[in-house]
Amino acid sequence: MKPAPFVYRKARSLDEAVALLGSHADARLLAGGQSLVATLNMRLSAPALLIDINGLPGLDRIETKDGTVSIGALTRHVAAERSEAIARHAPLIAKAIPHIAHPAIRNRGTIGGSIAFADPAAELPACLLALGGEVEAQGPKGMRRIKADDFFKDLYETALAPGEVLTRVHLPAATADTRTGFAELARRHGDYAMVGLAATARAKGKGLSDVRLAFFGVGNTPLRARRSEEALADGDIDAAVSALDLTPHDDIQATGAEKKHLAGVLLRRVAAQLMEPRA
């Protein structure tokens, strides 16, 4: 199918993108287009105005400063995948990105697009939540930061207000005691996950502290499993699996009961990564 007619504008600055977004109730930003163009072609969405933000200056940078890794919204997945700074300072992102789709899609898709789109089965929203990062957004009222725990509201719904452009994500840089874990189950490599888990913790003696478990593919948003986090910090993996309080719905890939079982399987795998990191 072909998309419904729309007006195309290429924004030359962030201010212009914000102004254009505010100028029309039915405007949509175009980043990598890897999710949006498919929805346009299938006529699942039909915005009147498409604002191309590709090429906005300064939004494709990865910067590390004062213990924070900042990733510009227009950073392509492939750039993050190949970034030494990400591998060193944000290893959870480095582990997750190869699971996103296929190279052709990672060449165009952006970090900001993935997080703003907030697909419940996507890897990066869960990583942002597991890392306890923040989203930076620019809107008509200026710039603000939103904590990951407050960002994902419902199915494809985020805390971004109308007229706001996601500009960067800020992540705590890994330190010597940082532990990360990532695993997902998909029918074919590159497909959206049936169930996935992104996790962070701190090494504390022979155990863990500050455990954050963010499941994806099991609800309308990425979900923390807080009771399991506590059990894992106590070093009890069986208790962490028993404490999983997820209630996934049936979908075309699996029943809710199967997904819950798979979440337990992934929790054991990720717990092993957190407790016995490879040298």
Residues in contact with ligand FAD by CB under 6 A are: 28-36, 38, 73, 100-101, 105, 109-110, 112-114, 116-117, 119, 122-124, 160, 165-166, 192
> What is the smallest separation between the CB atom of 159 and ligand FAD, expressed in angstroms?
11
User: How close are the terminal C-alpha atoms of the chain, in Å?
Assistant: 50
Q: Contact, 146 vs 137, CB < 8 A?
A: yes
Return the residue matching tokens 């478990």.
Answer: 213
Minimum distance of ligand FAD from residue 219's CB (angstroms):
16
Query: Do 121 and 217 contact (CB within 8 A), yes or no?
Result: yes
Write the Ramachandran bin of 189: left for phi over 0, alpha for psi from -120 to 50, otherwise beta: beta
Taking the complex as a whole, the smallest distance from the CB of residue 200 to ligand FAD amounts, in Å, to 19
For ligand FAD, give the closer residue by CB, 60 or 229. Answer: 60
State the minimum distance, in angstroms, from the CB of residue 49 to ligand FAD. 11
Which residue, 62 or 73, is less far from ligand FAD as judged by CB?
A: 73
Pick 109 or 133: Cβ nearer ligand FAD: 109
Comparing CB distances to ligand FAD, the nearer of 117 and 151 is 117
**Cβ of residue 222: shortest distance to ligand FAD, in angstroms?**
11
Nearer to ligand FAD, 53 or 237 (CB): 53
Minimum gap (Å) between residue 47 Cβ and ligand FAD? 8
Closest to ligand FAD by CB, 36 or 241 = 36
DSSP assignment of 46-89, as one string?
--SEEEE-TT-TTTT-EEEETTEEEEETT-BHHHHHT-HHHHHH
Contacts with 85 (C-beta within 8 Å, 6 or more apart), sequence order: 62, 63, 64, 69
**Rounded CA gap, 61 and 14, in Å?**
15
Q: Which is nearer to ligand FAD, 42 or 272 (CB)?
A: 42
CB 9 within 8 Å of CB 38: no
CB of 34 to ligand FAD, least distance (A): 3
Query: How does strand 223-224 pair with strand 207-216?
Result: antiparallel
Tell me how far, at minimum, the Cβ of 166 lies from ligand FAD, in Å: 3
CB neighbours (10 Å) of residue 166? 28
Q: Which is nearer to ligand FAD, 100 or 174 (CB)?
A: 100
Round to whole Å and give the CA distance between 60 and 54. 9
